[in-house]
Amino acid sequence: MDVIPAIDLLGERAVRLTQGDYDRATQYGEPVELARTFAAGGATRLHVVDLDGARAGRIRPDVVATLVDAAAPVPVQASGGVRSVADAQALIGAGADRVVVGTSAWTLLDDLVASLGESLVIAVDARDGVVRARGWTEGSLDVDEAIERCVASGVPRLLCTAIERDGTLRGPDVDLVRRVVESSGLPVLAAGGIRSGADVEALAEAGAEGAIVGRALLEGWLKLGTR
Which residue among 2, 87, 125, 199 is the active-site one? 125
Q: From the candidates 2, 8, 50, 166, which is the catalytic residue?
A: 8
23 catalytically annotated? no
Contact assessment for residue 225 and residue 213, using Cβ atoms and an 8 Å cutoff: no
d(CA 17, CA 192) in angstroms, rounded, equals 11
CA-CA distance, 167 to 183, in Å (whole number)? 26
8 is catalytic: yes
**DSSP letter string over 170-193?**
S---HHHHHHHHHHH-S-EEEESS
Residue 78 β-bridge partners = 48, 99
CA-to-CA distance for 198 and 135, rounded, in angstroms?
29
The catalytic residues are: 8, 125
